[in-house]
Structure 1
Amino acid sequence: MSRDRYERIKRVLDVTVAALVLVLAAPVMAATALAIALTMGRPVLFRQSRPGLHGELFELVKFRSMRAEGDPLSPLHDARRMTPLGRWLRATSLDELPSLWNVLRGDMSLVGPRPLLPQYVPRYTAEQFRRHEVRPGVTGLQQVRGRNALAWEERFVLDVWYVEHRSLLLDLRILAWTVVTVLRRDGITAPGSATAHEYRGVPVPDREREPVR
């Protein structure tokens, strides 16, 4: 299958599945929004700029899982800001449901590299930036291979591997693996962190090397 045909079919699949899940999950989303409003107050949605296709910024939408206090970009305060409801939402991935709106808009795909923080982009090597050759995903290869439990270097290797080998069959496999990963609640947090460790880039000598092909 040609790459162009794959991208067209994938987009149709993204829109169809995202719209269907949003309709079917509407009662769950309404209950989740009410629970967040009662325990954490408003707003119930978390909105943040993230780099997407070609590094262009878009507004990611998720359910809030933390109290709105401290620095929302600092993982150092995540453990203090995280609520019991928020931990459960992350463990069950219910916090991701509003991101299906990003899929409908075309900001994201169902499958692709996870959208990370904008401040990480200048820290990428040229090889790592290749993760932005495709739309970011609600789930992805690194999500089903370890998620936040993986070292950053491993995550980027998996992201670039996906970019180079993406196909409908691989996407369907990742979606199936995602169900298993969510049920097992694997890799939700990084060791010693309430969420994930900050990506600080690679050592300078590594940046000067030719990207590994």
Structure 2
Amino acid sequence: MIVIKRFIDIFFASITLIVFLIPIVLIGLAVLIFLGRPIFFIQERAGQFGKPFKIIKFRSMKNTKDRDGNLLPNELRQSSFGNFIRKYSLDELPQLINILKGDISIVGPRPLLLDYVPLYNQEQKKRLNAKPGLTGWAQINGRNAISWKEKFEYDVWYVENWSLLLDIKIIALTAYKVIKSEGVNTASNSMVTRFKGDEES
């Protein structure tokens, strides 16, 4: 079953890259025009079993800094263009490369920051048993509009109940919710708050 899942990942990621090649190029040019360089946001994340890898996304925030050269808070670096590509998950398209490399799957728990891993309790650590995904069970059940506790509960449920049919269901619902832009905190377009461990468990 895992081999089939990997084959599906490679097949659909390849097809999607070909179909969306022109939009991807246009989004990259738009990032360059509206936000400047670099075009991509690359960050180390925790993969399966906590193994680090570098996630690739289109940059969606300005690089505005204060007088001391430090980046300004997220809310001061947002832009209407960046909010738009995040709202419709267009900033996630470069992660198709991560799928082809085998860093992530199409479906799985979202890959989070490495420094969150030591904060997981024993139950939450189960989310690391699966390869992270471009979308997942938590994403179609609230995305940024639900708490960390709920996200991890959905992630663990996915890991414990995984099947190819479940993946197909998640992919179909993801497409629907992206089109409808549901499950995102669009009222303020705020960034996701950091996970702080047991106090949010």
State whether structure 2 residue 138 is matched by structure 1 residue 135.
no
Q: Tell me, what secondary structure is at the counterpart of 1:110?
A: strand
Which residue of the partner structure matches residue 31 of structure 2?
A: 36
**Aligned equivalent of 1:167, options 163, 169, 179:** 163
The Cα shift of 1:191 comes to: 7.6
TM score, norm. by length of structure 1: 0.87
Percent identity between the two aligned chains: 42
The Cα shift of 1:198 comes to: 1.2
Q: Tell me, what secondary structure is at the counterpart of 2:198?
A: coil
For residues 80-119 of structure 1, the aligned pairs below 5 Å read: 80-119=76-115
Which residue of the partner structure matches residue 209 of structure 1?
A: none
Which residue of the partner structure matches residue 179 of structure 1?
A: 175
Which residue of the partner structure matches residue 50 of structure 1?
A: 45
**Aligned equivalent of 2:21, options 26, 36, 41:** 26
Which residue of the partner structure matches residue 116 of structure 2?
A: 120
The Cα shift of 1:122 comes to: 1.2
- Contact 1:113/1:131 (8 A) holds in 2: yes
For residues 59-98 of structure 1, the aligned pairs below 5 Å read: 59-69=54-64, 77-98=73-94
How many residues in Structure 1 have an aligned counterpart in Structure 2?
Answer: 196
Which residue of the partner structure matches residue 142 of structure 2?
A: 146
Instruction: Structure 1: state its 5+ residue gaps.
Output: 1-5, 207-213
The Cα shift of 1:34 comes to: 0.6
In angstroms, what is the RMSD of aligned CA positions? 1.8
Instruction: Give CA-to-partner distance per residue, 1:16-53, whole Å, 9 cap, x none.
Output: 00011011101001100111101111111100000001
Aligned residue identity for 1:51: A
Structure 1 range deviating more: 78-87 or 45-54: 78-87
Which residue of the partner structure matches residue 191 of structure 2?
A: 195
Q: Tell me, what secondary structure is at the counterpart of 1:65?
A: coil
Aligned residue identity for 2:162: R
- Contact 1:113/1:159 (8 A) holds in 2: yes
Distance 2:65 2:131 in 1: 30
Structure 1 range deviating more: 191-200 or 93-102: 191-200
Distance 2:102 2:128 in 1: 14
Q: Tell me, what secondary structure is at the counterpart of 1:47?
A: strand
Q: Tell me, what secondary structure is at the counterpart of 1:141?
A: coil
Distance 2:3 2:90 in 1: 28
Instruction: Give CA-to-partner distance per residue, 1:177-197, whole Å, 9 cap, x none.
Output: 001110111122388661211
Q: Tell me, what secondary structure is at the counterpart of 1:68?
A: coil
